[in-house]
Amino acid sequence: MSFKAAVLGASEYAGAELLRLLAVHPEIDVTVATAGNELGQTVGNVFPHLSRYSDLDLEEVDAAGSVASCDVVFSALPTGVGMRMLPHLDNDVVIDLSGDFCLHDANDFVFWHGTRHLRSDQLGSWAYGLPELFRESIVGAKRIAIPGPFATAATLAIAPLVKHKLIHGVVSVNVLAGASTLRRTSATNGGFAELNDNVIVDKVAIDEQTPEVEMALMWLAGADAHITVSMISHLVPVVRGVSATASALATPGTSVEDCAQAYEADYGDEPFVIVWSNPVGTKMVRGANTVAMQVTLDGRANQVIASCVLDNLMKGSAGQAIQCANLALGLPEITGLTVEGVYP
């Protein structure tokens, strides 16, 4: 193994997924796993599917001890915890999945999260970990903030439309999300009794990932652009998967061919993007670090509609984190990741 890694927050869904993927990564070896709960147990006891780690204990975070010995740190700590801890790490590469360092504006953070950022001096210094759009800033980066699954799906769905000026006005995004988008330790709305045979309107116009989408799209559109995104999210009775459908008014003269050409130009060579001619579903990408999307033009309503599906624990968190780690560490981008989903 070339690099030693620590996984912080290993008892959460995203942390466990990082461990699963890194178990077969040829260049990264996990030597430290930390957790706030289930301390003293081995990873294999907490997660029986991770028998590879039967001798790896879950320990408390010790930034000056075992964590300091690692080359790369993957943090799946809850939002608000990472901002207190991660700036103090001296490791070569630190990759945060919490969203604490995604935004670049401290005022935006206060507005959407309802609290002050404790290290606002660091906002803007972390690379935004969405390789398909911002690869150059991730290559060789030391600090990387991974966008959440809603932001990843929505931004990738909309980006070609913005870059090629095929839409205008407010962008509406409707997100359907599986139960594993919640924290593993969360009981609210996450249990079988709440989710089974139910669709829950979760957040209307208040989702914390909304400003990430606006920020990324304005970077793509140019310095003078102003883009407003209105997002609604729902919890649906599935375990893994996110489906985001975005719509906006078509720029006059926009055709179906224009849309198809824009997506081919932007994503035709991307290993983890599938542009599909038919409607897409989450089973297409379950277990893969891949997004699948479809774009169409509703001529009657003059709306462009773009849908994107992903596995929230893969391209929506752990998989994308490893994709970014590969770029930061100088490894081939697809190392340790799978493109094909698990079906049925």
């959407």: which residue's tokens? 112
Q: Which two tokens stand for residue 241?
A: 């998967």
d(CA 26, CA 152): 26
* Spatial CA neighbour of 102 closest among 83, 85, 89: 83
Cα-based angle 35, 41, 46 (whole degrees, multiple of 5): 80
**Residue 62, pLDDT above cutoff 80:** no
Cα-based angle 10, 343, 191 (whole degrees, multiple of 5): 50
Tens digit of each residue's pLDDT (9 = 90 or more) over 170-214: 999 999 999 999 887 654 556 788 889 999 999 999 899 999 999
pLDDT, residue 33, reads 96
pLDDT, residue 135, reads 98
Tens digit of each residue's pLDDT (9 = 90 or more) over 130-167: 999 999 999 999 999 999 999 999 999 999 999 999 99
pLDDT, residue 224, reads 80
pLDDT, residue 343, reads 87
Helices 149-163 and 210-221, packing angle to 10 deg: 30
* HSE toward the beta carbon, residue 336, CA cutoff 13 A: 26
297 sits in the region (left: phi over 0; alpha: psi -120 to 50; else beta) called beta
E runs forming strands in 26-122: 28-34, 58-59, 72-75, 93-96
Per-residue pLDDT band for 63 (boundaries 50, 70, 90) equals low
């981008």: which residue's tokens? 333
The mean pLDDT of the chain is: 94
Query: Model pTM?
Result: 0.96
Q: How far separated are the first and last CA of the chain, in Å rounded?
A: 34
